[in-house]
């Protein structure tokens, strides 16, 4: 499966990262564009779980917000890839 490459917006190249336990590594926001569909699904599942835990929001607002950025961008990328296939 091939994907059209997109220019990564400058605001997504500013070192925003998410430590994924499911993938076992840190993922930069700009890396979402090059993840396989399976890895993108795992990121969406992991970040959706964080975003659904409102108690976690009180404990770690930074990670809660970062998970939101990753989740929304992953959804956009997934939809774009689906429409192009």
pLDDT at 3: 44
pLDDT at 42: 96
Tell whether 51 is covered by a domain. yes
In this prediction, residue 85 has a pLDDT band, given cuts at 50, 70 and 90, of confident
Tell whether 74 is covered by a domain. yes
CA 2 to chain centre: 19
What is the mean pLDDT of the segment spanning 54-69?
90
Tell whether 71 is covered by a domain. yes
Tell whether 23 is covered by a domain. no
Range of the domain at 37: 29-84
Distance CA 30, CA 35 (A): 10
Tell whether 8 is covered by a domain. no
Tell whether 73 is covered by a domain. yes
Tell whether 40 is covered by a domain. yes
Domain count, the chain: 1
pTM here is 0.78
Tell whether 13 is covered by a domain. no
């Amino acid at each position: 499966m091939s994907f059209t490459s997109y220019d990564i917006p400058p605001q997504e190249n500013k070192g925003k990262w998410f430590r994924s336990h499911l993938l076992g590594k840190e993922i930069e926001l700009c890396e979402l564009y090059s993840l396989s569909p399976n890895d993108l699904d795992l990121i969406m599942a992991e970040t959706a779980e964080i975003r659904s835990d409102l108690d976690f929001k009180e404990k770690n607002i930074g990670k809660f917000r970062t998970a939101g950025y990753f989740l929304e961008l992953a959804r956009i990328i997934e939809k774009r890839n689906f429409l192009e296939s």
